[in-house]
Amino acid sequence: MCIRVLFPIRSILADAEVWIGRTLASGLLVNPVDVFTVVMGKTVEFYTRAVAEGTIDAREDFLAELVEEMAGEAQAIGKALAETAPCVRQLALF
């Protein structure tokens, strides 16, 4: 069965979009790595909530497939953002 049928991918992306929008509205810059991080965090949040509620069974193969699907979505959103946003750089941690 297709993962899109089993899981609310559009809901995950919509929630991630809200948080990315809030970050941009606060005046902080957002880069593709930030977008990827937010989307992956929301993916795990939605998955763990669905497992806890009993909506889906806890299956590592399903989680891996979901993360792979969402990684592609996050990269597409990050690329679109990079093309439209002002020039940004990732914060160097070291």
Q: Is residue 26 part of a domain?
A: yes
Q: Is residue 93 part of a domain?
A: no
What pLDDT was estimated at residue 37?
92
Q: Is residue 90 part of a domain?
A: no
What pLDDT was estimated at residue 29?
82
Q: Please state, in angstroms and as integers, the Cα–Cα distance from residue 72 to each residue in 31, 39, 79, 91, following that order.
A: 16, 10, 11, 23
Q: Is residue 22 part of a domain?
A: yes
Q: Is residue 86 part of a domain?
A: no
pLDDT tens for 23-35 read: 888 888 888 889 9
- Chain mean pLDDT for the chain: 81
Our count of domains for the chain comes to 1
Q: Is residue 89 part of a domain?
A: no
Given a cut of 80, is residue 93 above it in pLDDT? no
